[in-house]
Structure 1
Amino acid sequence: MARFNYVELPVRDIAQAKAFYAFAFGWDFSEFGPDYAATTSGDTDIGLNGDAAHWTAQLLPVIEVRDLEATLAAVEEAGGTITLPIFAFPGGRRFHFRDPHGHELAAMVSEAA
């Protein structure tokens, strides 16, 4: 069975992007050269691509979290911008935000959480 396991985001500043995601979500990154860093959890990972020659179209990655309100506060404190406040949807609640590079992402909790 196929499953979603990776999201790659184009970024202008690898260090800034790593700092944002480390602060907001507690993620650790491995370096793969001067223009690339990625989480290597073995689950769904995120890559930060600093090489503009290899950038692709943007998707809406959704990050599952334990505490939606605390995550919203951490995203704002880390320099993110909330684009859609917390709302309910079938199966849970979520909000959308832009990271400092302008990527739109969502953070969500499931109803079971």
Structure 2
Amino acid sequence: MMMILAVRSFGLQGEWNLINVTGGFTEVDQDFEEGIIIWDFNESDSMLTITNNSTITEVYDGFPSGVYSYSVVTLANGSEELVVNEINLGTFTSTSDSFTVNQQFRDGFRIQFMR
């Protein structure tokens, strides 16, 4: 069991477009056009507004449209994980214009976002 060292925001403020989902048991590799699935982070209240207009039903595309709580958790080993609506989505890495959530180590998905 991993020990949690800290929970904090991570410079996510604003809108991000989900652009790709890969992995899973079926080896998905699905691109999404900009504007189809938007995650809008509000760091002042740790809330995430998701607008999901995807019509693709056979591929994992995150959460349905709605408002969710979120946090970035720093573990004792130094890795960071994104938690949305109390669901740990996996290891979190970011740059100023992109971020990735990766749970492929659990046979899950790798989800990529761009500004």
TM-score of the superposition, structure 1-length normalised? 0.29
Greater helix share, structure number = 1
